[in-house]
Every structure is written in structure tokens, then in C-alpha cells.
């Protein structure tokens, strides 16, 4: 369904607090095993999200005159790869080389040949204008689970002149963090993580209601129109292995338990949780797509 431009809580990339003020520095190190866990265990985007993007921005996949899409903070390609089917070319940009290596490998496995992978952050977006064809080359810029590491006000102002009429920006929140859900198993997980890392576990990382509201205002201030939000709710479940992999994908590499220590860490974590159901640990997933059109 479509709602006004305000959202629910959304995923955090690590069990640590974060804010837009931290976006002035480099994101944490998600290299090596963290990138591999991210590729294997991070939740994908359901087809209605891609339908919403295609509809909102009238995306064109014509191989000669179709749209160019930018996935900023693309990680291992969970959004860029399915988006590639709806545009001429998708550019995945991320500051972590290992994330991009995983994304490229996934593209090769999936037979996606219209994706380009670039090392960079939101600070590098202005340089794209010198590389991309046309005065307003972008049909859409998508940002999923990474906006809190960026300067959204500056970013949206930079993207506006690079976006074709009718194109736009989509800031996507892909569910609540596994340690911040309103379930007994999630609360138990949160307690273990906070005890292990010695700090509060993040519940939003810039994607809670007030943050999403602020991003909506920033989109409007940058000149994007029809700012609003599409929300999708569905039920899912995580097996113990999926839960562990998701947690590992969210821990910066310097803090990830060493391979020899992971069995003990996993045993401690799972011992604190209630018994999973037949399908695993149930969760209610809310995906929200905040959009603004040029």
C-alpha cells in the first residue's frame, strides 16, 4: 500500500549506533568474511519492490535507449541485480572492494551482463556527471540499507540535476534488524549482542520514522516532487543458520569473532534464544520504499 512520507524502523548494518553525523567518515570495514556472509544471508528484495520502482519512474529496459540506474551503497548486489532486469544498465557503487567482488560474482552466476561495479561513496557521485552520457542520465538512484552512512541533504541536491524528468530517487528500508524485532527471540538475541559488544545495539541506524521523515523533507528540498512511500508487509522465518549468518553480516570485520571462536559464539547466542518453530524464528518484515520524482 502507499502511505504518506513517513516510515517504520528499518535495518541497521551493524549492532552499533549510527547517525548521519558519522557519514562524514568512512563506513565500517565490511570486508572479507563479512562480505561473504552478506552475500549469502542478507535478505533480498521481494518482486513488488521492483514493480514499485518500475511504476514510479516508468523505467525502460530497452538495450539502446533504456534507463541507467545507480545503486548507491550496493553491497553484494541484492537490489542492483534484480533491478538490472528493468533498466538498460545498472551501476552498483560501494566503498568496500570485497562487497563489489561478491556482487560481480553473483552477476556472473545469474547471467546479469548489464551491471557495472564501481568503488565509491556518495561523495563520489558528482564525478559521475563527467562519466555518464547525457545531461540528465539517471532514470533512478536506489539506496537500500546505506543512507545512514551518507549525507542525504547534499546527496539529493547532487542527484537532482543528474536525474531525467520523471526519474527519481528511492530510499528503501528492507525490514527491522533481527535484533530489534518485537519477539522473544529477537529480544534475547539483542541481549546477547549487547553483552558481547558492550554497547547498545542499534535499532534504526537512520531509518526510523523521524529519520525517514527527514529524508522525505530533504528530497522535497532538493527539488524532487511527489514524495511518498510504498509499504509492503509480509511474514518470513529464519533458520538458526540464517539468523547466525545475518548477524555475522552485520558485524564490522575487526569485531567479527575469529573462525575458531565462532562455534562458541554461535552456541552461546543460540542457547539464549527460545526453541525455533517448525520453520525457524518467525518475523514480520516491513519493506518501505520512499520515493521522490524529478
The per-residue pLDDT for range 256-268, each reduced to its tens digit, is: 999 999 999 999 9
Identify the burial level of 101 via C-beta atoms within 10 angstroms of its C-beta, where 0-12 means exposed, 13-18 middle and 19 or more buried: middle
> What H or E segment, with its residue span, contains residue 143?
strand 138-144
| pLDDT number for residue 209 | 80
Domain that holds residue 183: 2-293
Task: Please give the residue that has the higher pLDDT: either 8 or 159.
Answer: 159
| pLDDT number for residue 145 | 83
Share of the chain above pLDDT 90, in %: 79
Q: Is pLDDT above 90 for 21?
A: no
Count Cα neighbours of 276 within 13 Å in the Cβ-side half-sphere: 17
CB–CB of 171/143 below 8 Å? yes
Per residue in 211-246, pLDDT (tens digit) is 889 999 999 999 999 999 999 999 999 999 999 999
Q: Give the C-alpha distances (Å, rounded to integers) separating 88 from 16, 116, 149, 165, 172.
A: 37, 11, 28, 17, 21
The answer to which of 7-11, 79-83, 153-157 has the lowest mean pLDDT is: 7-11
The model's pTM: 0.90
Which of 250, 253, 290, 145 is closest to 204 using CA atoms? 145
Q: Kind of pairing, strands 115-119 and 138-144?
A: unpaired
CB–CB of 41/209 below 8 Å? no
Cα–Cα distance measured from residue 135 to residue 233, given in angstroms and rounded to the nearest whole number: 38
Cα-flanking dihedrals φ and ψ of residue 165, to 5°? -55, 130
**Band of pLDDT at residue 206, cut at 50, 70 and 90:** low
**Band of pLDDT at residue 8, cut at 50, 70 and 90:** very low
**Band of pLDDT at residue 103, cut at 50, 70 and 90:** very high
Mean pLDDT of 146-152: 90
Q: Give the C-alpha distances (Å, rounded to integers) separating 64 from 94, 236, 239.
A: 26, 39, 43
**CATH number, domain at 188?**
3.40.50.150
Which of 147, 166, 158 is closest to 75 using CA atoms? 147
The answer to which of 10-14, 92-96, 258-262 has the lowest mean pLDDT is: 10-14
Q: Is pLDDT above 60 for 18?
A: no
Q: Give the number of domains in the chain.
A: 1
Mean pLDDT of 73-84: 97
Q: Compute the Cα dihedral for 124, 10, 78, 133 and give only its sign.
A: negative
pLDDT, averaged across the chain: 89
Amino acid at each position: 500500500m502507499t502511505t504518506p512520507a513517513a516510515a517504520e524502523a528499518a535495518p541497521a548494518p551493524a549492532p552499533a549506533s549510527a547517525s548521519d553525523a558519522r557519514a562524514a567518515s568512512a563506513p565500517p570495514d565490511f570486508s572479507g568474511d563479512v562480505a561473504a556472509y552478506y552475500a549469502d544471508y542478507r535478505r533480498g528484495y521481494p518482486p513488488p519492490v521492483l514493480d514499485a520502482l518500475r511504476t514510479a519512474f516508468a523505467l525502460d529496459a530497452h538495450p539502446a535507449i533504456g534507463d541507467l540506474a545507480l545503486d548507491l551503497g550496493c553491497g553484494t548486489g541484492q537490489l542492483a541485480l534484480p533491478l538490472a532486469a528493468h533498466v538498460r544498465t545498472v551501476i552498483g557503487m560501494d566503498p568496500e572492494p570485497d562487497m563489489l567482488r561478491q556482487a560481480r560474482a553473483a552477476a556472473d552466476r545469474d547471467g546479469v551482463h548489464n551491471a557495472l561495479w564501481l568503488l565509491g561513496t556518495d561523495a563520489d557521485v558528482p564525478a559521475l556527471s563527467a562519466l555518464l552520457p547525457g545531461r540528465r542520465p539517471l532514470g533512478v538512484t536506489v539506496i537500500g540499507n546505506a543512507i545512514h552512512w551518507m549525507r542525504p541533504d547534499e546527496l539529493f541536491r547532487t542527484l537532482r540535476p543528474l536525474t531525467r524528468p520523471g526519474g527519481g530517487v528511492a530510499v528503501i528500508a528492507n525490514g527491522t534488524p533481527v535484533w530489534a524485532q518485537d519477539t522473544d527471540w529477537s529480544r534475547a538475541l539483542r541481549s546477547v549482542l549487547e553483552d558481547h559488544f558492550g554497547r547498545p545495539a542499534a535499532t534504526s541506524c537512520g531509518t526510523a520514522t523521524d529519520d525517514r521523515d527527514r529524508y522525505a523533507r530533504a528530497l522535497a528540498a532538493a527539488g524532487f516532487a511527489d514524495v511518498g512511500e510504498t509499504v509492503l508487509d509480509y511474514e518470513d522465518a529464519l533458520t538458526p543458520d540464517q539468523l547466525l549468518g545475518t548477524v555475522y553480516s552485520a558485524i564490522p570485520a575487526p569485531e567479527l569473532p575469529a573462525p575458531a571462536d565462532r562455534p562458541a559464539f554461535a552456541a552461546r547466542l543460540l542457547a539464549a534464544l527460545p526453541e525455533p518453530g517448525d520453520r525457524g524464528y518467525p518475523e514480520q518484515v516491513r519493506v518501505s520504499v520512499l520515493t521522490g520524482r524529478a
